[in-house]
Structures are given as structure tokens and as C-alpha cells.
Amino acid sequence: MPKSMKLLNRLMNHQDFYLKLLIHLLFNSKEFKLIQEESKLLSKTIPHFHLSLELVTEQNFADQESLLQLIIIFNELRDQFVHTLDQETADESKFTSRVTQLEKNLLNFKELFSSKTQNLLQMNKNQVKPLKDARATLQAQLQAENDNYAAEIDLYNKTVTEYKKQIKISKQALALITQPSFELYVKSKVGI
């Protein structure tokens, strides 16, 4: 549609419009075919445009009223396109503004998130250090208790071994004392 709009706008700005249009269309049949093709696409939106273009073409541009009607329809169509472009530009501006605002919001969120994350990490570090220190202290105490327990077990085992030796010696001594020959020997020596 832009080529056909340019053509009509260019022709409308000259005097003797109809004569120049006829001459231009005759010499530029390629553009005329383009206008006809575009009018078929536009016929869904503006049915009068296609019919007027066909009528003007069939009458070989002789009917000035139909030609004027075609120009009016073209101007209305151009106004609609301009309005649509203006609306799209306004919508694009709103969209761009909204995207800019959302990008600012995202940046603020990222900064806030980063700040909160740093605060939480620092808080965790501050809380973890005393816990690690307490854990190290408790592990040292546990190791000391384990070492003491091992030493006490070793002392217990040595004591048990010593007591077993003494019990064995005591049993041997008791066995010796309770023998009848030992009793006679003691009586003979003591004089009883």
C-alpha cells in the first residue's frame, strides 16, 4: 500500500490531476497493477475502494465522479493508516515506557536481593563462627574425655592383671598353708 499511497499523494499535489493520473498510469502500468493488487487486499476492509477502482478502470478514467470518489476513498484510507500508525506509535511508546519501568524494577529487585543476600550471608557467618568455635571446644573436650577414659581403662586393666596375680599368689599361699604337712611343720617350729 505504501507505493500506491505515494503515487496518489504525488499526483494529488499537481494541477490537472486527472490528466496527469491518466498519463502516469499509462506509462507506469507496473504501479497501476500494484494498486489493483493492493486494492484486492484492501477489499476486505473497504469494499467500495475495490469497486471504485474497477469502475474507473473499466471506464478508462472517463468518469470524473468515480475517479473523485476513488481519491476520496484513498484519502480516507490514508487517514485510517495514519491514525493506525499514530496509535501504534503511542502504544509502542507506552510499551517502551512500561519496559523501561519494568527494567528499573528488575534492577531495584536485583539490588535489593543482592543486598539481602549479602546481609544473610554476613549474618550466617556471624552465627556460624561462634558455633564452629563451640564445636571445636566440645570436640577438644570429647577428645580429652576419650583420652582420660583410655588411660582409666589402661589403669583398670593393669590393676585387674595385678589383682589376678595377687589372687593366684594368695591361692598358692592358702594351698600351702592348708596342707597337713605345713601344719605339722609350723607346730614343730613354734612348739605347740
The model's pLDDT over 17-55, given as tens digits with 9 standing for 90+, comes to 544 455 455 445 555 555 555 555 554 445 555 555 555
C-alpha cell at 33: 497493477
Could you count the other beta carbons within 10 Å of the beta carbon of residue 176? 10
% of the chain with per-residue pLDDT over 90? 33
The confidence score (pLDDT) of residue 39 equals 53
Report the alpha-carbon distance of residue 35 to residue 14 in Å, rounded: 19
The highest-confidence range among 9-13, 78-82, 94-98, 147-151, by mean pLDDT, is 147-151
Length of the chain: 192
What letter does residue 54 receive in the DSSP assignment? H
Would the pLDDT of 138 be above 80? yes
pLDDT at 88: 84
The model carries a pTM of 0.35
